[in-house]
Amino acid sequence: MSTKAVHIEMVTDLTSEAFISTLKRFFARRGKCSTLFSDNATNFVGAQAELKKLHNLINYPDDNLSNFLASNAIKWKFIPPVSPNFGGLWEAGVKSFKHHFLRAIGNANLTHEEFNTVIVEIEGILNSRPITEISSDINDLEALTPGHFLIGRPINTVAEPELINFSDNRLSRWQRVEKLTQHIWKRWSSDYLNHFQQRHKWQFVKNNVKPGMMVILKEDNLPKCKWALGRIIDAIPGKDGYVRVVNVRTANGTLKRPISKVCLLPVKTHN
């Protein structure tokens, strides 16, 4: 099994000193790694000046960076040029962050502190996603998330009132930042659940839904990093023999939902 978690850092420039400082912050929060993998950056050729600087830093590290990596016994490996599939595991996380970040931020004018708050909250959102069941125990309603690999438990955020429907001129600056992150959560979580639904649609069609399976319910207006998890109690077929409705046990009681509002989590293989 392979999985990914997202760690986002803000840098003020693309010098080796800034890169080393970023690595040090990463090591202090996540622990020192033995190997770094990165894109070969051939796509930076001909790009804007800032990307060329990054390309040169990655491919031709100066003495400061080389000495730092060597003294910490860190290997730096590159995926083959023009082979994005080699980095698919981390590229998916990067793509997801960039897509929803740019859609939500738009032309917003954020301070350094506000910008950093937004990107770290996005990090938490991406790392809250349910991956699979932790156990096959029908009484266990907790799903495995990237947060378990980072802090040993699911990632939760501070509860805030929903601000999406408020106009910006009625909000303070910090409330506008909160509104941005709520927009990102709403859009990304919806996309994530739709992805699960498309990926496992065949299981409903083939009538493979069974009691005890863990699911995510598509519920509106859930707060950030909050997922409606449950276990199927009954799978109710329609007149054509296909499952159309399920009864799901959740932490708040038993709910009846159409399969269009239910997303199956991948079943963990137990040896």
Tens digit of pLDDT for each residue in 18-46? Answer: 878 888 898 888 888 888 777 655 444 44
Q: Give Cα 154 to chain centroid, integer Å.
A: 12
Task: Give every CB contact of residue 6 below 8 A, 6+ residues apart in sequence.
Answer: 93, 97, 123, 126, 127, 146
Q: Which two tokens stand for residue 3?
A: 């999985």
Confidence label for 127 from pLDDT (cuts 50, 70 and 90): very high
- Residue whose C-alpha is closest to residue 236's, from 249, 225, 247, 223: 247
pTM: 0.80
Alpha helices in the chain (DSSP H): 16-30, 49-59, 63-71, 88-105, 112-126, 146-151, 173-199, 201-205
Distance, CA of 53 to CA of 58 (rounded, Å): 9
- Does the pLDDT value for residue 219 go beyond 50? yes
CB 126 within 8 A of CB 6: yes
CB 115 within 8 A of CB 10: yes
Q: Which two tokens stand for residue 45?
A: 């050729």
- Does the pLDDT value for residue 128 go beyond 80? yes
Query: pLDDT digit string (tens) for 167-194?
Result: 999 999 999 999 999 999 999 999 889 8
- Angle of helix 63-71 versus helix 16-30 axis, rounded to 10: 20
- Residue whose C-alpha is closest to residue 234's, from 260, 205, 255, 253: 255
- Residue whose C-alpha is closest to residue 125's, from 225, 26, 42, 204: 225
- Does the pLDDT value for residue 125 go beyond 70? yes
